[in-house]
């Protein structure tokens, strides 16, 4: 079947997800073209349930969170007294569109990945959560602070 933008947009996000997963499992030029078409379409292609690893949305979240731009933005947020998610969430909204949200728990996944990234950079969780700005899809996130230096 030759896929078009119109045919893809007529599918539900769950149906596009299944197409995506099927195409990912195939090794052909047509399958790779369909994967690129789905990814480039801007249409949601996640299931309305919690993400499971490995998952295309989780992998995109991690790729963004571990980028130099996102890492710097998250560190700036922490220095300004905000959770790192306050900086990461808008980047994910822009990059993932409707595939990012509470409907598939990707906001929770993003919060976990943001905290993991900052812990790798020498920050630690304070044990507190903070409400995020109204334009964020995630509602609350872990507060982090610079971990004390260990003198040996």
Q: DSSP class of residue 129?
A: E
pLDDT higher for 90 or 121?
90
| Inter-helix orientation angle 85-96/68-79, to 10° | 140
What CA–CA distance (Å, rounded) separates 3 from 8?
7
- Residue 53 has what pLDDT? 57
- Residue 98 has what pLDDT? 87
- Residue 88 has what pLDDT? 98
Tokens 């949200």 belong to 101
79-96 b/e with 16+ CB inside 10 Å = b?
Answer: eeebbbbbbbbbbbbeeb
| pLDDT 10s digits, 11-66 | 877 788 788 888 888 888 888 898 888 888 877 776 655 555 567 888 899 999 99
DSSP track, 104-123:
GTHHHHHHHHHHHHHHHTTE
| pLDDT 10s digits, 55-101 | 788 889 999 999 999 999 999 999 999 999 999 999 999 999 988 99
| Inter-helix orientation angle 106-120/56-65, to 10° | 40
pLDDT higher for 1 or 122?
122
Q: Which of 30, 93, 84 is nearest to 61 (CA)?
A: 93
CB 7 within 8 Å of CB 92: no
| pLDDT 10s digits, 129-140 | 999 999 999 999
- Residue 63 has what pLDDT? 92
């Amino acid at each position: 079947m030759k896929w078009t933008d119109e045919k893809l947009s007529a599918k539900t996000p769950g149906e596009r997800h299944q197409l995506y997963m099927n195409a990912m499992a195939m090794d052909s030029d047509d399958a790779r073209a369909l994967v690129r078409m789905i990814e480039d379409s801007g249409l949601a292609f996640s299931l309305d349930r919690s993400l499971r690893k490995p998952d295309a949305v989780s992998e995109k979240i991690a790729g963004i969170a571990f980028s130099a731009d996102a890492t710097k933005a998250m560190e700036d947020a922490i220095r300004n007294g905000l959770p790192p998610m306050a900086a990461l969430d808008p980047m994910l909204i822009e990059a993932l569109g409707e595939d990012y949200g509470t409907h598939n728990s990707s906001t929770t996944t993003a919060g976990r990945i943001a905290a993991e990234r900052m812990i790798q950079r020498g920050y630690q969780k304070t044990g507190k959560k903070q409400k995020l700005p109204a334009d964020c899809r995630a509602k609350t996130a872990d507060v982090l602070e610079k971990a004390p230096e260990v003198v040996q």
